[in-house]
Structure 1
Amino acid sequence: MEDEGYPLGDKRFQENIGTIQPHDDALVVMLRIGGYDVKMVMVDQGSGAKTMYPNLYKGLNLKPDDLIAYNSPLIIFDGKVVIPRGQIRLPVQAGSKVVEVDFIMVDAYSPYIAIVARPWLHALGIVSSTLYLKVKYSSRDQIKELVGSPSIARQCMAATIMHQPKAESSASAEGGS
């Protein structure tokens, strides 16, 4: 018996046990941020910006004076440019490994609570796989892994689709009668 062209004994097949193939889900994991377990954290291999959104900011009981200035604009998911409210350094724990992360606080909609990016992956020596929805890293001479949640990734995608503003018709956008 084969699945997606891989024989059952193939190592690649064994790695994706628990994921429905094929899929195009984001890699969404739970991490310990600022001493709290935080769900809906997206691992973004293509970004350098570590971002937090209002739900995490409020959930951690942070105050405006906890933020330091960060004035560089960001382009968010919907293509809009936003000015961050500031930046804050928080400990992020994956298993027994902890690294300080400079999160950029963005007051904008996101289905995710936070996004960790390449600098976080590199600091922990993490290898991530969106195909297998896992991140792997070494800890005390062992290989540990965090497994992403396809169901939460799909909930986030559905929330994004539901949040899309209604498109204007071409007649009203052109000022038609």
Structure 2
Amino acid sequence: MSIVRPHVDDLTLDFKRGKMEVWPSLSFLDEDKVGTFQPHDDALVVTLRIGGYDVRRVLVDQGSRVEIMYPDLYKGLKLKPKDLANYDSPQLEFDRKTVVLKGQIRLPVQAGFEVVEVDFIVVDAYSPYTAIVARLWLHAVGAVYLTLHLKVKYPFGYQVKELVGIQSMAR
């Protein structure tokens, strides 16, 4: 069992005010693997609500430092070049190739009840994914993930919410 908790103790006691607050723990147990084919080396692929639409095949990748949007999603959201802001760099090395960037766009990304504004860099390159959410999104939501369990967990109030990866999409 591995337990991860960002910035908050699992139990907060305030004896001066006579109250006790219990904060949920973001943890992954063996039971969290139920429903996955084990062993595996699959990526964590989820469905998120982006720009008001349910978007499948979104890769969760802590190794990326920027959020990426691929042409399928760009076209599916009916975005136009006028919707894009310039990005500081005209090129990005991605997947060992230099990729020309179309621009940048800020869109709301919703996981459950949690909505975060995300700056996506729009690239003109093929990918089996529609988008990549990276460290910035994970940190904004306060999320942790484990690819072994194919889950993302994040605090929401006094609860722990989770996104379950779709293993068949990752294959």
Q: What's the TM-score, normalizing by structure 1? A: 0.78
Query: Percent identity, aligned pairs only?
Result: 66
Partner of residue 132, structure 2 = 115
Indicate yes or no: 2:135 matched with 1:136. no
| Deviation at residue 140 of structure 1 after TM alignment | 2.5
Indicate yes or no: 2:93 matched with 1:53. no
Partner of residue 108, structure 2 = 91
| Distance in 2 between residues matched to 1:13 and 1:70, nearest whole Å | 42
| Deviation at residue 45 of structure 1 after TM alignment | 0.8
Whichever of the two has the greater Rg, that structure is 1
What residue ranges of structure 1 are gaps of 5+ in the alignment? 1-10, 155-177
In structure 2, what residue type is equivalent to 1:112? Y
| Distance in 2 between residues matched to 1:24 and 1:74, nearest whole Å | 27
DSSP 3-state at the match of 2:29:
helix
DSSP 3-state at the match of 1:121:
helix
In structure 1, what residue type is equivalent to 2:142? G
| Deviation at residue 22 of structure 1 after TM alignment | 0.9
| Distance in 2 between residues matched to 1:121 and 1:12, nearest whole Å | 20
Report if aligned partners of 1:71, 1:84 keep a CA contact under 8 Å in 2.
no
More helix by share: 1
More strand by share: 2
Residue number among 38, 41, 44 corresponding to 1:21 in the alignment? 38
Residue number among 147, 150, 154 corresponding to 2:167 in the alignment? 150
Report if aligned partners of 1:91, 1:98 keep a CA contact under 8 Å in 2.
yes
Equivalent pairs, count: 143
Indicate yes or no: 2:94 matched with 1:76. yes
| Deviation at residue 71 of structure 1 after TM alignment | 4.3
DSSP 3-state at the match of 1:83:
strand
Residue number among 94, 104, 113 corresponding to 2:121 in the alignment? 104
| Distance in 1 between residues matched to 2:111 and 2:74, nearest whole Å | 20
DSSP 3-state at the match of 1:84:
strand
Partner of residue 158, structure 1 = none
DSSP 3-state at the match of 1:21:
coil
CA-atom RMSD, angstroms?
A: 1.0
Q: What's the TM-score, normalizing by structure 2? A: 0.81
| Distance in 1 between residues matched to 2:40 and 2:94, nearest whole Å | 24
Report if aligned partners of 1:71, 1:83 keep a CA contact under 8 Å in 2.
no
What residue ranges of structure 2 are gaps of 5+ in the alignment? 1-27
